[in-house]
Amino acid sequence: MMIELSERMRALVQPHLVDAEPYDPMFSPTRINLSANENTYGIPAAVRAHIDEALAQATLNRYPDAMSNELRDEIAAWHGVRREQVCVCNGGDEGIFNLLLAFGGAGRTVLTCPPDFSEYAQFAQLLQTSVATVFRDPETMLPDGPALVEAARAANLAIVTSPNNPTGDLMPLDLVAALCDACPGLVMVDEAYMKFAEPGASALALLDEHPNLVVLRTFSKAFGEAGVRCGYIIAAPDVIDVYAAVRQIYSVNVLSQAAALVALRERAAFDEDIATIKRERGRVYTGIEQLLAGTAAGARVWPSSGNFLLVRLPGCASRIRTRLRDEYSILVRDFSAAPGLMDCLRITIGTPAENDEVLTALGALVKEELA
């Protein structure tokens, strides 16, 4: 549903904002919500108890530590970097916004590789930054490496995603390195879903050799803290200085810092659920592949290194999404109107029971709609 700004406000806002849309995802309450790539297992009970203790002890009448230094140190120790290379953000979103705020702007261009995370283009628009795109191959959904590198030479900034949301593929590290070499400005690798990938895929390994690399992480996905609003970037210390200069000083509140710190200290407790999600991803992938076999031409599911799968259901994606919601109370994400994602749905990997329900419901609907 598109909502427009009022006539009165269109006359008052900055000219580049007249077509900005008020954003409200309007989540329908459903029994099973697999629409936002959250960790549907929740936080392990023992960790949750420790978070509750930390929250109970948090000092609320004082401002938070502006730079979240305790959390920064824990993040730095985990990734083998220095405190000076870490900036904690109010969700990964703020890390993206502040990148564009500081390094984008009028007359500058950010390179992206769609279909990707829609907020890159949305934030770029808010910050008057032009967006240059090199679309993925429509069939494999993989990036066109040489074209990306070429485009990076002419861009002020590049953002790539690994694993990519919503296509699930990893950005090869040699391509990330080539982008860093080609781009005269910063290259952000958004690793919101990296905990679901196999080890060795993170661009963090390239930081030492590429001082223009910025890696983004979040507590919202594998760590089950989407409601906490905490993420971070890792980059060269002078990049962090820029973030520290442009960010809203107290954007990461006391409660978020406390909840993220406990989750990080007790990160091993999440490993079992993450392993289950990865296993389930394989099972659901195979299940969907089987139920699509011999149906419409073009029906398919893509392999994924994230906690979600992209599925193409020619001619009926939107209808199947609506029927999943209304008849089965299962919510998935409809991307069928997004550029490069015609007929596509994105389904988050849930618990084994949730995934069983998705496979059963999808099996029935595909028989009716796609046969």
Ligand X SMILES: *Cc1c(COP(=O)(O)O)cnc(C)c1O
Taking the complex as a whole, how short is the minimal distance between the CB of residue 12 and ligand X, in angstroms?
29
* Identity of the residue, 40 or 220, whose beta carbon is nearer to ligand X in the bound complex: 220
355 SS3 class: helix
* Identity of the residue, 91 or 287, whose beta carbon is nearer to ligand X in the bound complex: 91
Taking the complex as a whole, how short is the minimal distance between the CB of residue 164 and ligand X, in angstroms?
7
Dihedral sign for Cα atoms in the order 356, 362, 368, 371: negative
Taking the complex as a whole, how short is the minimal distance between the CB of residue 192 and ligand X, in angstroms?
4
* Identity of the residue, 204 or 296, whose beta carbon is nearer to ligand X in the bound complex: 204
Helical packing angle, 145-154 and 173-182, nearest 10°:
20
User: d(Cα 292, Cα 313) in Å, to the nearest integer?
Assistant: 9
* Identity of the residue, 93 or 343, whose beta carbon is nearer to ligand X in the bound complex: 93
* Identity of the residue, 219 or 328, whose beta carbon is nearer to ligand X in the bound complex: 219
DSSP 222-259: TTS-TTT--EEEE--HHHHHHHHHHS-TT-S-HHHHHH
Taking the complex as a whole, how short is the minimal distance between the CB of residue 215 and ligand X, in angstroms?
12
Taking the complex as a whole, how short is the minimal distance between the CB of residue 307 and ligand X, in angstroms?
10
* CA-wise closest residue to 89 among 57, 66, 111: 66
Taking the complex as a whole, how short is the minimal distance between the CB of residue 92 and ligand X, in angstroms?
3
* CA-wise closest residue to 185 among 165, 210, 161, 212: 212
* Identity of the residue, 221 or 281, whose beta carbon is nearer to ligand X in the bound complex: 221
Taking the complex as a whole, how short is the minimal distance between the CB of residue 195 and ligand X, in angstroms?
12
User: d(Cα 218, Cα 213) in Å, to the nearest integer?
Assistant: 17
Taking the complex as a whole, how short is the minimal distance between the CB of residue 308 and ligand X, in angstroms?
9
Taking the complex as a whole, how short is the minimal distance between the CB of residue 168 and ligand X, in angstroms?
11
DSSP 170-237: PPPHHHHHHHHHH-SSEEEEE-TTGGGSPTT--GGGGTTT-TTEEEEEESSSTTS-TTT--EEEE--H
State the Rg of the chain over Cα.
21
Burial string for 263-281 (b: 16+ CB within 10 Å, else e) reads: bbebbebbeebbeebbebb
| Beta-strand relationship, 333-334 and 344-348 | antiparallel
Binding site for ligand X (CB under 6 A): 37, 91-93, 117, 161, 165, 190, 192, 218, 220-221, 226, 231
Beta-strand runs (E) in 35-185: 86-89, 109-112, 130-133, 157-161
* Identity of the residue, 225 or 357, whose beta carbon is nearer to ligand X in the bound complex: 225
* Identity of the residue, 99 or 239, whose beta carbon is nearer to ligand X in the bound complex: 99
Scanning the structure block, which residue is given the tokens 């900055």? 14
* Identity of the residue, 37 or 212, whose beta carbon is nearer to ligand X in the bound complex: 37
From residue 226, give the alpha-carbon distance in Å to each of 34, 204, 210, 363.
13, 23, 30, 30
Q: How far is CA 175 from the centre of its chain?
A: 20
